[in-house]
Amino acid sequence: MFKISVANKEYSIPAAWEDITVSQAKYLQVKVNELPETVKEFYIPNNEDKKTLTDDDILLQNEFERNVTSYLCGLDDIVNHVNNEDIKYLFDNILIRFVVGVMGYVDYEQKKITEFDYKGKTFYFPKSGKDITNDDTPLSEMSAQQFCDASDIASANNLAVAALFIATLCAGKYNETEIMKMADMFNDLTMNVYFEALFLLRNAHDYLSNECPECYGKGKAKGTGKSITWNEVLLQVTDEKPSEIPFIQSMKCYDFMRFLNVKYKIQKDKWQTMSKLMF
């Protein structure tokens, strides 16, 4: 965060994700999604396929960049007294990273924090462990229910549920009511915490995709072509036996994934055997 002076008044300019709140990023994503595709494509890094903007597109782009600058810097009505060149300089050199970031092109370097302080309280991400080769096992102390919930929320790529995602990860013992309360409170968290949580979950999936390969690449429900969620997968594991659901939900997520991997492997071997018999 640094300061600029406009009309003898100082304003704070966000320069890093630590300076942007979840609610600000959520608002920014909504505004980006309102842009025409031709304008949105203009902001995609290293995009060689972007089309030439029409005069109307340029007017929309200029208005968007002025509104973003005003919103993130708290300029309000004073923005009308800032010339276009200064707005363009601020946006192109500092603020554009936040627009690009909410579009999914994030320039954040993970610090691998295990906790964060917020409003006088310390919140913890689920613990990680080590495997037999001393490699990290990210989020290995997380329950299967939290893992599936967090994975489904993250896959939405929607910052409207960013606070809910963070709350799901650091809820401790799973409790939907407490998670929703935390989510309401976390809208004023800074975005670096969100990215730490998101990258931690990705680290877990990266590890598990190697250990449990049968669990990945199976994103289509057989015969429907529809994507299935992790929570739907969790329910499938119980083989439609409701009495087993609480046990499966409370399993450590790595144990759940290993169990799921074996289940898928048995199914695949069975299909391959049937295929050989048929043909």
Q: What is the pLDDT of residues 152-177, one digit of tens each?
A: 999 999 999 999 999 999 987 788 89
Residue 85 has which token pair? 């060149």
Q: What is the pLDDT of residues 216-238, one digit of tens each?
A: 865 443 444 456 899 988 888 87
Integer Cα distance of 66 and 44 in angstroms:
19
Integer Cα distance of 152 and 270 in angstroms:
29
Asked which of 80, 102, 124 is the last residue of a domain, the reply is 102
Range of the domain at 26: 2-102
- Residues 128 and 83 reside in one and the same domain: no
**pLDDT at 274 > cutoff 80:** no
Query: Does residue 167 sit in helix, strand or coil?
Result: helix
Integer Cα distance of 219 and 226 in angstroms:
8
Asked which of 68, 102, 136 is the last residue of a domain, the reply is 102
For residue 109, is it within any domain?
no
- Residues 257 and 124 reside in one and the same domain: yes
Asked which of 102, 131, 164 is the last residue of a domain, the reply is 102
Mean pLDDT of the chain: 87
For residue 278, is it within any domain?
no
Q: What angle do CA 141, 145, 146 make, to 5 degrees?
A: 60
Structure-token match 């299935």, residue found: 228
Integer Cα distance of 268 and 275 in angstroms:
10
Query: Does residue 129 sit in helix, strand or coil?
Result: strand
- Residues 146 and 265 reside in one and the same domain: yes
pLDDT at 222: 42
- Residues 10 and 77 reside in one and the same domain: yes
Structure-token match 């015969």, residue found: 223
- Residues 18 and 142 reside in one and the same domain: no
Burial 184-200 (b: 16+ CB within 10 A, else e): eebeebbbbbbbbbbbb
For residue 228, is it within any domain?
yes
- Residues 64 and 160 reside in one and the same domain: no
For residue 108, is it within any domain?
no
Poorest-pLDDT segment among 70-74, 104-108, 163-167: 70-74
Domain count within the chain: 2
Q: What is the pLDDT of residues 251-267, one digit of tens each?
A: 999 999 999 999 888 87
For residue 151, is it within any domain?
yes
For residue 137, is it within any domain?
yes
- Residues 126 and 248 reside in one and the same domain: yes
Is the CB of residue 15 less than 8 Å from the CB of residue 96? no
Integer Cα distance of 183 and 168 in angstroms:
8
- Residues 168 and 237 reside in one and the same domain: yes
pTM of the complete model? 0.88
Q: Within a 10 A sphere around the Cβ of 81, how many other Cβ atoms?
A: 9
For residue 233, is it within any domain?
yes
For residue 277, is it within any domain?
no
- Residues 123 and 200 reside in one and the same domain: yes
- Residues 88 and 203 reside in one and the same domain: no
Integer Cα distance of 211 and 47 in angstroms:
35
- Residues 261 and 132 reside in one and the same domain: yes
- Residues 142 and 251 reside in one and the same domain: yes
**pLDDT at 137 > cutoff 70:** yes
Output 237 or 67, whichever has higher pLDDT.
Answer: 67
Phi-psi region of 112 (alpha: psi -120 to 50; beta: other; left: phi over 0): left
